Amino acid sequence: MVEDRKGKLRSALVEAAESVVAEHGLAALRARDLARTVGRALGGLYTVFPDLDALVLEVNRRTLALFEAHVGVLPQDRAGGRQSALDALVALALAYLDFAAAHRRRWRALFEHRMADGGAPPDWYVAEQARLFRHVEAPLAQLRPDLPESERALLARTLFSAVHGMVSLGLDEKLVSLPAPVLRAQVETVVAALGRGLIQGRERA
């Protein structure tokens, strides 16, 4: 019974926090406001979350899961050829762009959040992040079966970072801001070139 009440409070807090992040961004999140939103004293929050970081990590976990659901509906690479692996890489990059554009503040929160103690996030959260890189590793394994798995895992992260840079600065209103269709075409051009260059790199090696 107590567990049930705690479960409800937890859900209410996560939903309240998610709304604030989605509407106003991570910087607007205040423990006191959240407690008020769910009709509890500040101490109530800490009966279900050890600290505000734990609540933010839960919000971010849900954002990662939403992205994974978004990626899950991409056409699967059944043919298994190089061209389809290349197409899969481009489709993933475009899915990332679309997701970021549709959920800007929640997506930015994934990168803005820092643990209060300046330390690393807990292992379970790091594992959640790492799981997403597998979606990049799968087409890479077809483009570059010659690379050791550890090398491919590293390359998957670097490719993600490159796509993140294009999406992040492209959506930003500051330095490289681009209209949506132009940005899509640019991401497509660059990721396709990257895939072709990686295939060619194998042939040269």
Residues that bind a copy of itself (CB under 8 A): 111, 114, 121, 129, 154-155, 157-166, 168-170, 174-176, 178, 182, 186-187, 189-190, 192-198, 200-201
Write the DSSP symbol of residue 27: G
Pair 74, 91: CB distance under 8 Å:
yes
The number of angstroms, rounded, from the C-alpha of 62 to the middle of its chain's C-alpha atoms is 10
Q: Report the residue number, 76 or 200, with the smaller CB distance to a copy of itself.
A: 200
Q: Report the residue number, 45 or 163, with the smaller CB distance to a copy of itself.
A: 163
> Which residue's entry shows tokens 């929640």?
106
For the CB of residue 154, give the shortest distance to a copy of itself in the complex, in Å: 6
Rounded (10°) CA dihedral 152, 155, 160, 163: -130
Q: Report the residue number, 13 or 91, with the smaller CB distance to a copy of itself.
A: 91
The CB density around residue 5, as the number of other CB atoms within 10 Å, is 11
Q: Report the residue number, 40 or 82, with the smaller CB distance to a copy of itself.
A: 82
Q: Which helix (H) or strand (E) holds 151?
A: helix 149-171
- Number of residues that make up the chain: 205
For the CB of residue 30, give the shortest distance to a copy of itself in the complex, in Å: 18
Q: Report the residue number, 36 or 196, with the smaller CB distance to a copy of itself.
A: 196
DSSP-based three-state secondary structure for 78? coil
Task: Report the alpha-carbon distance of residue 136 to residue 91 in Å, rounded.
Answer: 11
For the CB of residue 127, give the shortest distance to a copy of itself in the complex, in Å: 13
For the CB of residue 3, give the shortest distance to a copy of itself in the complex, in Å: 33
For the CB of residue 178, give the shortest distance to a copy of itself in the complex, in Å: 8
